[in-house]
Homo-oligomer: A and B are copies of this chain.
Amino acid sequence: MVIQMAKHDPSLDRLFHALSDPTRRGIVERLLAGPASVSDLAAPTGMALPSVMKHLAVLEDSGLVTTEKAGRTRLCRLRPEPLDHARNWIDEQRRIWEARLDRLDDYVTRLMEERAHGTRPQD
């Protein structure tokens, strides 16, 4: 059996980076309600269009958003799958952490039993 070291995953870099900005999380939350144009997304932010376009580029790069041009407007849609990727990473860390706590607990329990019986731990 081969133990796999979790490779550093550039897609996680881009995903967490995309989520680290409140404007971008706001866009994600807006797109939960359904597709929207660039102007729709810009309106509540009060930002200039080109600024919002940069945020959209980051979101597209992370895979969270896809866009398509229809006439003179560009429609933006949420693609929630990458969120699962982030969630899986987080869950994995949690799982490893809990497993370690369990081992620690076992260890301490055994230590206390050994002491109670006057024996000593094997190094």
Contact = CB atoms under 8 A, between A and B. Distances in A.
Interface string A67-90: 000000000001010011011011
Contacts of A96: 29, 32
B83 A94 contact: yes
A93 interface: yes
Interface stretch (A6-14, A46-54, A111-119): A6-14
B17 A13 contact: no
B25 A20 contact: no
B32 A100 contact: yes
A73 B21 CA distance: 34
Question: Which 5 residue pairs across A and B have the least CB separation, nearest first?
Answer: A16-B20, A17-B20, A8-B22, A16-B19, A32-B96
8 contacts: A9-B22, A12-B22, A16-B16, A16-B20, A25-B89, A29-B96, A33-B100, A80-B93
